[in-house]
Amino acid sequence: MGVKAIYKTKATATGGRDGAARSEDGSVDVKLVVPKEMGGPGGEGANPEKLFAAGYSACFLGAMKAVSGKEGVKVPQDATVTAEIGFGPRDEGGYGITADLTINLPGVDRADAERLMHAAHQVCPYSNATRGNVDVGLTLA
């Protein structure tokens, strides 16, 4: 399965989970902190799970907008997607992530919202990247 990339970007991390990450153009420049739940100091800063949650939620909302015309469902201006990303040990060894998306489409008929949500899940790059590797929960708010 090939991908013909129409856009590429770069980010560089230093110090691992307790360091910093910055995009090549500087538009993303974050301090990384290990959460207390993972044995770190916690405090202000991001971590890979927060960054993944932000990226997945934005991408999924964009995917809904991309398929809305084909599905005949308008995405309202105040629509939101919240991604909850979990981190922990896998039964098979190593570590893994969990992903649960909560989709809020105010004023959209529930059947239409479900159709749009499932169509977006088929085209969203994050959904395609995780498919078969991460169980992604989809919930309509």
Strand order in the sheet with 20-23: 11-14, 20-23, 29-31
Structure confidence by residue, pLDDT tens digits, 5-57? 999 999 999 999 999 999 999 999 999 999 999 999 999 999 999 999 999 99
pLDDT, tens digit, for every residue of 74-83? 999 999 999 9
DSSP letters of 74-140? PPPTT-EEEEEEEEEE-TTSSEEEEEEEEEE-TTS-HHHHHHHHHHHHHH-HHHHHHTTTS-EEEEE
Confidence of residue 123 (pLDDT cuts 50, 70, 90): very high
Select the more confidently predicted residue: 93 or 1.
93
Q: What's residue 20's pLDDT?
A: 98
Q: What is the mean pLDDT of residues 97-123?
A: 98
Residue type, 86: G
Predicted local distance difference test score (pLDDT) of residue 2: 87
* C-alpha–C-alpha distance, residues 80 and 75, integer Å: 10
**83, 53 contact by CB (below 8 A):** yes
The model carries a pTM of 0.94
Residue 1 reports pLDDT greater than 80: no
**Locate tokens 């538009």: which residue?**
27
Identify the bridge partners of residue 87 per DSSP, sorted by sequence position. 97
Question: How far apart are the C-alpha atoms of 133 and 127, rounded to whole Å?
Answer: 10
Q: Measure the CA–CA gap between 19 and 36, rounded to whole angstroms.
A: 15
